[in-house]
Structures are given as structure tokens and as C-alpha cells.
A and B are shown apart, each in its own frame.
Chain A
Amino acid sequence: MLGILPVMVFVALWEGIAQLNMVPQYLFPPFSSVMMEFYHLVASGVLLDNLLSSLVRVIAGFLMGSVAGIVMGMGMGCKEVINKSFHPIFGLLYPIPALGWAPLLMIWIGIDEMLPITLIFLCSFFPVLYNTITGIKGVDKEVIKAAKTLGASDRKILTTVILPLAMPNIFTGLRLEAGMAWRVVIAAEMVAIPTGIGALMMKSESLLNVEVIIVCLMVLSVMCLAFERFFQYMEKKITREWV
């Protein structure tokens, strides 16, 4: 109840101020108009079509980036030679913001579906990579020794000891980047792709349709939150007994 109350107060204030018409409603529409627009967008299927386009891009890019980050992180975390070989390269590439790659990727891969997917891949890869390395390097060496004395091969140690114990760190990376992936896809769609939530926002901007823009922002907010919460839930489910 305490969590909902501030939201209800915020919505009431928003509705009240907008109804006073101090600012023209086409610039600052009341909450009720936004909800009406939300209903129309859902009923016409426009919102779901665009949401689905964005969702597919986010899932594809995020999945590829996360898997690549975890696999590479496992390699770099476990084998010092791999770490030393790749760390200088990744160290240089990591600080570049994902959207900074957009102009170059537009030239290299063109303006199509692969552009936002690649951007999300880049945005997910590095944080998951570094969190995986941190998680793996943080595993107690005595526990690894114990697994060896109990007859586990290196592969078994990796899958039954190192990886599970690195999970909290890996999930931290996933949780943080799940939200970031949505922010990146919206930005990519706004500048380069004709479908998706970002593209819908840009079209609405040219038509001065503020209600649709606000609906898109609300959807974006909910999706970011839902993705982050999903990974938070998974992390708790997997590690709650022992962390």
C-alpha cells in the first residue's frame, strides 16, 4: 500500500494540473487522456505490434550478449592466459557507450534488424563479461581444491562449483543490463529503425501526439522494470538458500 500511495498521489496531481488547462492539453495531456490513448493503441494492435518488434530485438541481442559474456567471462576468469590476451582489448572497448557504435554499425551492417540487435549485444556483453570474471575470481580457492580432492575433473569443477558460486555476480550483470537493453533498443529505433516502440515515439513526435509518446514511455518503464525484476526473482530463487 505504501508503494502504491505515492503513485496514486502523482497520478492525481498530474490529472488535476492538466485539467486546470494552465498548459495546453496537446502539450501536457491529463492522465485520463493518456489512458484512453493506451486503450486505443492496444485495441488497434499498434502498441502490441511495436512492442513485439522491440521485445524480439531486446531478447535476441540480450541473449546473445549475455551468453557470449558468460562464456568469455568463464574463459577469462578460469584461464589466466585468456584473461591476459583479451583484457587489453576489452579494456579499451568497454568504456565506449553502446550507442557510440551506432554510426559505425550503420555503415558496416546497414540500417536493418541487425543494428539494434548488435547494439544490445554490445551493451549486454561487457557488463556481463566483467561480472562473470569477478564472480569466478571470487570463488574460494579452498572450495575448488576440495572439489579436486573429491575427484572432480576441471570441467565438473567449473559446472558444479565455480559457475554456481559465480551466479550472484552474473545475475547482478544480467539484472543491470536487462534494463539497459531496453533503453538502447528505444534509442536505436528512434534514430534508425521504422518499427518498435522507439519508432512509434518518433512518429508521434512528428504528429505532436504527446499522449502516444507518454504511453510509449510508460511501456518502456514497465518493460525495464519487469526485466530487472525477472532477473532479481531468478537470482533469489537460485541463490536464496545459500547467499
Chain B
Amino acid sequence: MPAIELRNIRNYVFSNLNMKVLDGELLVVLGPNGAGKTTLLNIMAGLVDYEGTVLFDGIPMDKISTNERHIGYLFQNLALFPHLDVFSNVGYSLRVKGRKKEEMARKVNELLRLMKIEHLKCRYPRNLSGGEKQRVALARALATSPKALLLDEPFNSLDTEMCKCLRREIRQVQKTMGITTVFVTHNLADAEEMGDRFAVLNNGKIQEVISRGIFLLQSGEDESDSPAKFHDCSQCTIGCHCTSIEQDYESADSPTYCLPTLMKS
């Protein structure tokens, strides 16, 4: 049984979207800006209106409000609470659920250790670097032991080195905790390093879903036909083949993206 399943989803972006995320896997959803990536996550989280059915472990979530869906959501801009210090940010979900102070302190300290940010617990978000904020946001999302983790392009504002480092850490945490994760991005390097499976989303439609093996094979051997060639040049952090990309770049409607050949056919 898939951990997350979307059946016949319709709203202002999607006309009839079906999708499955397997238990414990990290599914990368690749797509250009405006493809509906964030909306997809918001549907799973119950943050936007939609028709159709969202199931978590086979249970319909449509009538269940966001605060009861038990999800961890890492927002694109991280959305840390500016008025709370790191400890309170991470412990927020435990506090609003009325957990005991001792239990909250134990859990928060555990997460701070896991994310290597124990020394920051008294700092406020405005005094944190981009990478530190990222770690705090992830620790906060994991605090309630969520059923699913939704990551919305969380590395956008980070430099290449920090990005690489956090990708590895998030992947490690996700594997260790075995949390079903949906990670949306338009960055090929993020996708390649993190995904178990890959879904290409464009114009509100899932164009194709492929396994990691096929994704790596295609991206390594046959770029001209690969969904992995879907690529944001400005965000490129791995070796790209600029000749073919430039060609697509010029012919694409959007000046930023190289659409996969698959989508153009």
C-alpha cells in the first residue's frame, strides 16, 4: 500500500492528477516554475482546496484539516517563527499539542543534536545563516514524528557547498527515520543526489515517473532523451552539457528552463 496516494485530483492547477508515493521512499518531483509543484505539496498538506482524494496509508485525508494530517513541511522560504528562538521553533509543534515540558525538552534536544545545531538553541532566526535556518526548519518539521515529509525547494537560497552538505544530511536523516518524503525541485543536482524515484511535473500533469536507476542511466548516458535533462541553468551545480542545453534554452518559451525532450514530443 502506498504511503501517500492522490486520486483524481482537480483544482486550479491540476485537471486529473493521480500519483503514488511508496512507504519510506523519497520521491523527487521535478518541474519548472509554475508547473504546480508547490500546489501539489499544498494539496497533500491540505493547505489549498481541491477535488479528489488524498490518502495517507489508505486513509482519506480530505476531511481532515492540515493541523491533524501529521505531516512535516519544509517551506521554500522556511517560514521560521521570527519571534521564537531556535529551541522554541523546533519545539513549537510539541508545545501546541500540549506535551509535557520535559518530554518537549528531550525531543527538541535530540533533534538539535541530530541536526548539529545544539549550540544555536538560544538564537533567533534573524541571527542564523541560511544553512542554519535550513537545519532549524528541518528539525522543526521532524519534531512531531510526521507520517510524511514535504520539502518545497528548500535549497534555493543556499550556496553550492552548503547545498551539497544539506542534501546529504537530509537524505541521511530521511533514511534513518524512514519517513516517506516528497521533495519538489527544479534543480537536477538536488534530484540526482536525493531521489529514490522521480516524477516529472509540467503544466499540472505528471509526465512520467522513473526509478533512480533509470534516472541515473538516462542522465549519464543519453541526455538528449532524458527527463533528467530538465534543467535550470542558473541553478546548475553539477556538470551540465551546455551545448545541448543552450539549444533547448533558446527554443523554450521560458527563458530559464530547458524542457525535457520527452515533454516536447
A residues engaging B (CB < 8 A)? 140, 142-143, 145-153, 156, 160-161, 164-165, 167, 239, 241-242
Whether A149 pairs with B126 at a CB distance below 8 angstroms is no
> Which residues does chain B contribute within 8 Å of A156, judged by CB atoms?
96
Whether A152 pairs with B67 at a CB distance below 8 angstroms is yes
> Which residues does chain A contribute within 8 Å of B79, judged by CB atoms?
140, 142-143, 145-146
The tally of residues in B whose CB lies under 8 Å from a CB in A reads 32
How many angstroms between the C-alpha atoms of A148 and B79 in the bound complex? 12
Whether B82 pairs with A165 at a CB distance below 8 angstroms is yes
Kindly state whether residue B189 has any CB partner on chain A within 8 Å.
no
Kindly state whether residue B73 has any CB partner on chain A within 8 Å.
yes
Q: Contacts A160-B96, A242-B83, A242-B124 given: A151-B68 contact, CB under 8 Å?
A: yes
The majority secondary structure among interface residues of chain A is helix
Find B96's partner among A140, A153, A165 (CB 8 Å cutoff): A153
Q: Contacts A142-B75, A241-B124 given: A148-B67 contact, CB under 8 Å?
A: yes
- Which residues of chain B (65-117) have a CB below 8 Å from chain A? 65-73, 75, 77, 79-85, 92-93, 95-97
Find B67's partner among A140, A151, A165 (CB 8 Å cutoff): A151
Find B47's partner among A145, A160, A239 (CB 8 Å cutoff): A145
Which partner residue on chain A sits nearest B68 by CB separation? A151
> Which residues does chain B contribute within 8 Å of A164, judged by CB atoms?
83
> Which residues does chain A contribute within 8 Å of B126, judged by CB atoms?
242
User: A178 to nearest B CB, angstroms?
Assistant: 23
How many angstroms between the C-alpha atoms of A161 and B71 in the bound complex? 19
Q: 1/0 contact trace for B105-142 toward A, CB 8 Å?
A: 00000000000000000001110000000000000110
Whether B82 pairs with A147 at a CB distance below 8 angstroms is no
Whether B83 pairs with A150 at a CB distance below 8 angstroms is no
11 A-B pairs (CB sep. < 8 Å): A148-B47, A148-B65, A148-B67, A149-B47, A149-B67, A150-B143, A151-B68, A156-B96, A165-B82, A241-B85, A242-B124
